[in-house]
């Protein structure tokens, strides 16, 4: 019996050994199918040499991440690199060190692998991480294919130094540099500005003098300024005489404007600005006190009389309505018979306000002259779709002679999956359009509907001529300049390049826009953009598709309400996709997402090229990921179209200077184009029936 039990015990041991041997073999086989863990991850920072043009260019930083392959497992087919910003440190620059992350993949090409981050491949479907001094980043690297991670992946925590080459962090500048005490007085046609600093000035290399123009009032009652640089002076200077010109253009200085001065150190970092608010009436008050006392007495009498009238109206149950003049609501729309609509609409509105006598509609209408009750808006048909909504053809008070374009929030769209974010975006668009004010070459804001219980609507001037890109495509398809042959076909739905193809085969496609008409188009756009630049508004997406036409071919800029005030940088947002018009963007906007009025000037040059080529696609032979190198390292530009003269092409090239400061302002562009216009004498523009837009 004992022997039998012994044999059974031995057999069980043998079976267990065979079982474990099989499992181990299986595991070894599985391990052989997967890559191992990478080793020796190293990280260092460097300046992007492809973007080192001169001392005036905004520089970009990159992280060089390298590693060695795994010792065991399968040979990796590729490597994945995850980079994430680390924000849990104290004392970091919160302005630049924003939350962001990105995933990169590189193919295995040898015993040593590396990657430069960001790659700047301009892909619209993947966010890039921007590298800044003093910021900290966490980098993971793993080999593919890999099993589901069971432990901690190899990682490196890397903090970027304060200065790398010419690029430095300015996080501590405001605490180190003193704040100047500023005073200013008007002397004839100049402003004399004086300042001094009371604390340590050894770090100061120069002073930057700026003018702040009031733009908006915040909810807290504080003024929001559009700040424009006037000049830079040396550290030994404490007096400056300003001729009240910006970029060679004289500006009228009003009460409430602010003179701002900031100290700058050797790194180019600015300290806290010292300011002086201009009050041009102080001297007049001192010199003419008697006159002002008399005027004050008259004003008091007028106010008392007005209050008496209001009291009488209220006692009898009436509501006094003060008529409002709204120049912003109508912008030269005689062709659409809109010149009389404000009186009609507001008369109807005031009647309803008198009857209802109350409620939020009345309060809002008095507070915001642009507010229109939603019930007066009639939608006729859809005109198009945008990122945050749809645009409809509409009318007011069922009056088809008052056609308008109605932009409404449509959160069912894929691009608008966050209703609150979309609502906020449209409200911001309304705010910017109000700040821009009326201009002949901006699509006019007629009104808005923003009350909480109604859909948000933006009421815009209806531009029956459509967009400039569609018009250029129409012109390309026209076979002859003869009146009987002038016709418009459907807009071409895709771009086609007619410059880089076979010239002989494309000769019959040209319907050359006369030089005089070209300059008229260019001047229309430049004047509209000059107005936005003075207001401190950056368009960011200036292109032929965002320029609209009236019935007499006057151009007006649209979508400037989606713009921003002042120079700014796009920060990455996790999970968000940003569609960027990279072929219209300047190098600094493409590389660092830094926009300014000078990046708009670059885009203006691209628009001129679009007009000259009848709507061709810029850089048709260049891939997106090759565009930045093409512009900066190779220093290539769009070729001069056959339809454009050299004097116009010279203006276009000035817009494409790599250094933003070397590009002209829009005021200068207007002057240059007006100079060209003086020398033109074309008999064709007025008589050529192809310039008359056919009604739809």
Q: Quick one: tokens of 271?
A: 């300290």
pLDDT in tens, 36-62: 888 889 998 888 765 544 444 456 788
Domain that holds residue 265: 172-278
Task: For residues 524 and 673, state if they share a domain.
Answer: yes
217: confidence class by pLDDT, cuts 50, 70, 90? low
pLDDT in tens, 495-546: 333 333 344 444 433 344 578 889 999 999 999 999 999 988 999 899 999 9
Between CA 570 and CA 595 the distance in angstroms is 8
Query: In this model, does residue 250 exceed pLDDT 70?
Result: yes
- State pTM to two decimals: 0.53
Mean pLDDT for 422-448 is 88
- Residues 445, 567, single domain; the answer is no
> pLDDT at residue 80 above 90?
no
Give the pLDDT band (50/70/90) at residue 563.
low
CATH number at residue 381: 3.30.200.20
CB 599 within 8 A of CB 586: yes
Judged against a pLDDT cut of 80, whether residue 88 lies above it is answered with no
Give the domain CATH number at 543.
1.10.510.10
666 and 534 belong to one structural domain? yes
- Convert the pLDDT of each residue in 384-399 to its tens digit: 776 557 889 998 887 7
450 plus 555 within the same structural domain: no
**Can you tell me whether residue 30 is helix, strand or coil?**
helix
Quickly state the pLDDT bin for 461 (edges 50, 70, 90). very high
Residues 85 and 207 in one domain: no
In a domain, 295, yes or no: no
Instruction: Say if residue 460's pLDDT is above 70.
Output: yes
If asked whether residues 212 and 235 sit together in one domain, one would say yes
Of 133, 167, 201, the residue that ends a domain is: 167
12 lies in some domain: no
| Mean pLDDT taken over the chain | 73
Structural domain ending residue among the three candidates 248, 278, 308:
278
Q: Do the domain assignments include residue 503?
A: no
Measure the N-to-C terminal CA separation of the chain; round to a whole number of Å: 108
| Pick from 276, 67, 287: nearest CA to 185 | 276
**Shared domain check, 636 and 589:** yes
Least confident interval from 300-314, 581-595, 661-675, 677-691: 677-691
In a domain, 634, yes or no: yes
For residue 54, give the CATH number of its domain. Answer: 2.60.40.10
Are 628 and 675 members of one domain? Answer: yes
Adjacent-strand bridge partners of 181 = 196
Q: Tell whether 669 and 559 lie within a shared domain.
A: yes
In a domain, 399, yes or no: yes
Residue that is last in its domain, among 136, 167, 198: 167
Q: Between residues 302 and 245, which one has the greater pLDDT? A: 245
The verdict on 137 and 219 lying in the same domain is no
Q: Is residue 31 part of a domain?
A: no
Residue 345 in domain: no
Q: Are 543 and 581 in contact (CB under 8 A)?
A: yes
**Is 305's pLDDT higher than 60?**
yes
The four Cα atoms 418, 424, 430, 431 give a dihedral, to 10 degrees, of -160
Say if 333 falls within a structural domain: no
* Model pLDDT, residue 376: 87
Domain count, the chain: 4
Residues 472 and 594 in one domain: yes
Cα 638 off chain centre by: 23
148 is in an annotated binding site: no
Q: Which tens digits make up the pLDDT trace of 673-694?
A: 998 888 775 444 443 333 333 3
Residues 120 and 223 in one domain: no
């Amino acid at each position: 019996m004992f022997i039998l039990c012994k044999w059974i015990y031995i057999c069980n041991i043998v079976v267990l050994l065979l079982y474990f041997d099989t499992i181990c073999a299986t595991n070894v086989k599985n391990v052989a199918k997967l890559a191992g863990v990478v080793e020796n991850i190293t990280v260092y920072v460097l300046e992007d040499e492809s973007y080192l043009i001169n001392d005036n260019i905004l520089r970009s930083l990159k992280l060089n991440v390298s590693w060695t392959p795994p010792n065991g497992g399968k040979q990796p087919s590729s490597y994945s690199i995850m980079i994430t910003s680390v924000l849990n440190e104290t004392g970091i620059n919160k302005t630049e060190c924003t939350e962001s992350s990105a995933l990169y993949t590189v193919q295995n090409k040898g015993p040593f692998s590396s990657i430069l981050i960001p790659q700047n491949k301009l892909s619209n479907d993947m966010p890039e991480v921007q590298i800044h001094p003093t910021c900290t980043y966490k980098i993971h690297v793993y080999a593919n294919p890999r099993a589901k991670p069971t432990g901690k992946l190899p990682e490196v925590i890397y903090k970027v130094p304060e200065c790398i080459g010419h690029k430095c962090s300015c996080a501590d500048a405001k605490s180190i540099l003193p704040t100047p005490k500023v005073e200013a007085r008007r002397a004839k046609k100049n402003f004399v500005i004086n300042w001094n600093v009371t604390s340590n000035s050894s770090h100061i290399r120069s002073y930057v003098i700026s003018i702040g123009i009031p733009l908006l009032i915040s909810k807290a009652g504080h003024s929001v300024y559009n700040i424009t640089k006037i000049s830079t002076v040396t550290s030994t200077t404490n007096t400056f005489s300003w001729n009240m010109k910006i970029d060679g253009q004289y500006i009228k200085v009003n009460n409430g404007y602010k003179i701002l001065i900031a100290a700058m150190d050797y790194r180019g970092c600015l300290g806290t600005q010292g300011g002086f608010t201009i009050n041009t009436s102080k001297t007049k008050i001192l010199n003419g006190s008697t006159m002002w006392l008399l005027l004050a007495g008259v004003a008091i009498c007028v106010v008392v009389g007005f209050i008496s009238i209001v009291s009488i109206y209220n006692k009898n149950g009436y509501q006094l309505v003060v008529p409002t003049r709204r120049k912003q609501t109508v912008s030269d729309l005689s062709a659409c018979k809109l010149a009389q609509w404000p009186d009609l609409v507001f008369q109807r509105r005031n009647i309803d306000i008198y009857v209802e006598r109350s409620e939020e509609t009345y309060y809002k209408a008095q507070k915001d002259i642009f507010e229109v009750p939603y019930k007066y808006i009639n939608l006729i048909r859809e005109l198009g779709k945008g990122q945050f909504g749809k645009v409809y053809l509409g009318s007011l008070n069922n009056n088809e002679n008052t056609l308008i374009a109605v932009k409404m929030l449509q959160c069912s769209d894929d691009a608008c999956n966050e209703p609150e974010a979309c609502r906020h975006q449209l409200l911001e668009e309304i705010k910017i359009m109000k700040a821009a004010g009326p201009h002949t070459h901006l699509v006019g804001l007629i009104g808005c509907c923003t009350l909480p219980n109604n859909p948000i609507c933006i009421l815009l001037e209806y531009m029956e001529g459509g967009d400039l890109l569609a018009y250029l495509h129409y012109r390309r398809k026209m076979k002859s300049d003869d009146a009987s042959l002038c016709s418009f076909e459907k807009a071409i739905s895709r771009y086609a390049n007619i410059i880089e193809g076979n010239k002989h085969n494309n000769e019959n496609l040209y319907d050359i826009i006369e030089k005089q008409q070209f300059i008229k188009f260019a001047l229309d756009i430049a004047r509209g953009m000059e107005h936005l630049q003075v207001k401190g508004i950056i368009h960011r997406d200036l292109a032929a598709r965002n320029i609209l036409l009236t019935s007499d071919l006057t151009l007006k800029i649209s979508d400037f309400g989606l713009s921003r005030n002042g120079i700014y940088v796009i920060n990455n947002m996790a999970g968000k996709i940003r569609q960027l018009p990279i072929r219209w963007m300047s190098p600094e906007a493409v590389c660092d997402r830094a926009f300014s009025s000078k990046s708009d000037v670059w885009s203006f040059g691209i628009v001129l090229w679009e007009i000259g080529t009848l709507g061709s696609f810029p850089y048709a032979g260049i891939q997106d990921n090759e565009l930045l190198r093409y512009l900066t390292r190779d220093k290539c530009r769009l070729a001069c179209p056959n339809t454009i003269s050299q004097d116009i092409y010279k203006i276009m090239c000035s817009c494409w200077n790599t250094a933003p400061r070397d590009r002209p302002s829009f005021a200068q562009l207007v002057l240059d184009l007006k100079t060209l216009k003086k020398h033109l004498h074309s008999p064709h523009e007025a008589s050529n029936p192809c310039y008359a837009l056919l009604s739809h």
